[in-house]
Amino acid sequence: MSESTAATDDRRAPDDRSATDECTLCGLPTGDAPVIDDDVAGGYCCRGCLEIARTLDDVEAADADEVRSERKTGTENAPEDADHTYLAVDGMHCATCETFIESTAADADGVYGADASYATDMLRVAHDADTDLEDVHRVLDRYGYGVGDPDDTDDERTDTQLVRFLIGGGVFGMMVMMWYVLFLYPSYLGFAPLVDLGGFDGLYLFGNVWLMSSIVLFYTGYPILRGAVVSLRAGQPNMDLLVSLAAVSSYCYSAVAVLVGGTHVYFDVTVTIVIVVTIGNYYEDRIKQRATSGLSELTSAHVDDATRITEDDDHETVPVEDLVPEDRVLVRPGERVPVDGTVIDGSAAIDESLITGESIPKTRRPGDHVLGGTIASDNPIVVEVGTDATSTLDRLVERLWQIQSSRSGIQRLADKLATLFVPTVLVLAVVTTGYHLVTGSTVATALLTGLTVLIVSCPCALGLATPLAVASGIREAADRGIVVASDAVFESVPDADVVVFDKTGTLTDGAMTVRDVVVNGDADDADNTDADDTDADDTDSVLARAGALERFSAHPIAAAIADAAEETPDAEDVETHDRGVTGVVDGEQVVVGHPSLVESRGVALTSSDESTMADARDAGSVPVVVAWGGRVRGVVVVGDTPRPEWETAVAAIGGDRDVVILTGDDERAVSRFRADPNVSEVFAGVPPQAKRETIERLKSRGTVAMVGDGSNDALALAAADIGIALGSGTDLAGDAADAVLVRNDLDAVPEVFAVARGTNRRLRRNLAWAFLYNAVAVPLAAFGLLNPLFAAVAMGTSSLIVVANSARSLD
């Protein structure tokens, strides 16, 4: 940070420009004294947000607002006291389903509004606290949508899909095709039939084919037919509608033909269409299943109850929703702070990693602000509820929902094309039928020609183009130790223009460990001539005595020191303090902790001690002073260690791309990364909401990829064009990301881009062939140059080409 930045980057009393309690960049509370700067408009919650605004202020705020404006707004007008429930919805496989489910759920009693997300198969319902949502379950079940808990439906959904496919397609579909191959196709091609198709044998054959085709159409194809009905009710034609028209038309034509004694039936077309499209939908649903638990970790960390202190200093357990401003709540060690507020009694090391990404817990004392969702690690505290009685954690849940539900998948491209393609084909089929009737063709011939147009234009190849290419890409990625969680990996521009890295847990190992023990070697000290003191100055002795006391503290830094000390002597008269621990070890009064604690015990810090501590802080570590016998004996340096491969990974990713480091840690913790020549920019001290806003602003430079591991990275991972999470990361990071690195190795990041590029090329080839096929086949069918059988063969051949291309190795 430049000197000018440091000079202006201070907290001040709010002026007219920053008279707000929310950060201009990320919306987090700013407190009474927001961070402001004369050259940057607005007030900010932290220096990280101010630095982002200063650096990226050439990107207009409207860019981010435009993204937000595209999101669902079904629940935005709900009352502030409304409950929000997240439900998993089985069977939502197109954007039209979103519209239908939202309007249907919103009509239920007690429901203020609903937002459906096709991308994650989730439904968020804003409702009255007394509403149990039974009406929502019942009405959606009536239309074939399974509604349940997000954590409990994946296995049931998978079983249902397999049963529909195996029984309907695998058993009855294959039986239909066997009848065709043995008896019907030979007669259609001019060979002598093996049975008398006009007699009893033929009636038995056609009856079996009709019955089994009915099972395939109405059982296996039920989700497709439901999607067609939903599209009609919503007034948005989709691919399901066109597929259903082709399948049902060929089925109805064949049924009528059987009833009037005809022998040319096209039940095989119905079966082929349903099975092929079902396979494509199955692949797509498998890809999306991981996203249904996308809010699992944050929602599981949500605090439902709080311990409120009554006026007579008694304790009572109340729902968090019942808390009002100025209530006092007790937070015990290991518990989460229920809502944002201010500490009024006690002090504790607050673990803010889930919310802010800060790797080192912060000690919060009376007068300090604490965030809802953070954890009191070592001591109880009393928190006064803030003015809004809301939790920062809950705001993160809301923001993550908005980002994930607005993210479009590749299949949405097909749905958008369907709004033009479906009406065009329908009009063409009707015009073709009418033309042949007007020009003297028989009714049967005219209807058959119109049916051929519908069959040949059935978008099986288009429906398979995306899921098969994606499935092959997922397989290739798995072979390289990459789990693809979202098809957004393959939809995005193959090469990212900006790659953003989180620091803690991504570029570093994320675990607090003892990085160094610096022994005080002051030769001028008179005690240094004593043999016992010389032995005490040994590194092992300093670490052992520090560990002997730190094992009595619950602070994560203390735990790192205690773990590093292999053998610790016994300690007596141990007292834990706000900033360290004191006690008697080997007959000596020992002080371990912050320099201020050591000085309060009458121990002076030398210039050498100050230099050691400054070097530790500059390296992004925490110095812990160890003293006994009236002087400092050493400094234990604690911090997280950079991954050994971080430099080579950044070098491989850099070059034509901008590499940006985005972290919740403070500026000193990222100094080593800022010095790397392959790193373009570093933003430190950035809260999760600001990470997301930074990603949105960086998108002005092109496609943005985000690499992270923590729950605090989830918003940024979800907002990025490509989100990549390390396998060692939290569940929420993995759920929000598009790809997860199983090897937990940064060297795997470049391979994500390689797989994405290859799959993207494969996908484009599939789509190109699908459209080329329709461009040639539909006019031929319209001019009567194809019959339904050859139309079905052409459709099947087109699908096989797509399958073959998808099975090829990536190039």
Q: Which residues are annotated as catalytic?
A: 502
Give the residue among 293, 454, 477, 323 at the shortest CA–CA distance from 391. 323
As a three-state string, the secondary structure of 287-301 is HHHHHHHCCHHHHHC
As a three-state string, the secondary structure of 524-569 is CCHHHHCHHHHHHCCHHHHHHHHHHHHCCCCCHHHHHHHHHCCCCC
Q: At what angle do helices 688-698 and 392-406 cross, to 10 degrees?
A: 30
674, 682 Cβ separation under 8 angstroms: yes
708, 688 Cβ separation under 8 angstroms: no
766, 800 Cβ separation under 8 angstroms: no
DSSP 181: I
SS3 assignment, position 375: strand
CA–CA gap between residue 500 and residue 174 (Å, rounded): 50
Radius of gyration of the chain (CA): 33
DSSP 712: G
Q: At what angle do helices 411-438 and 749-782 cross, to 10 degrees?
A: 10
- Phi/psi for 630 (5° steps) reads 85, 5
- From the centroid of its chain, how far is CA 703? 17
DSSP per position, 482-538: EEE--THHHHS-SS-SEEEE-IIIIIB----EEEEEEE---TT-GGGGSHHHHHHTS
Cα angle value 798/800/804 (rounded, 5°): 120
Helix locations, 439-480, DSSP H? 443-456, 460-479
Q: Which tokens in the block code for residue 37?
A: 């700067």
CA–CA gap between residue 115 and residue 87 (Å, rounded): 10
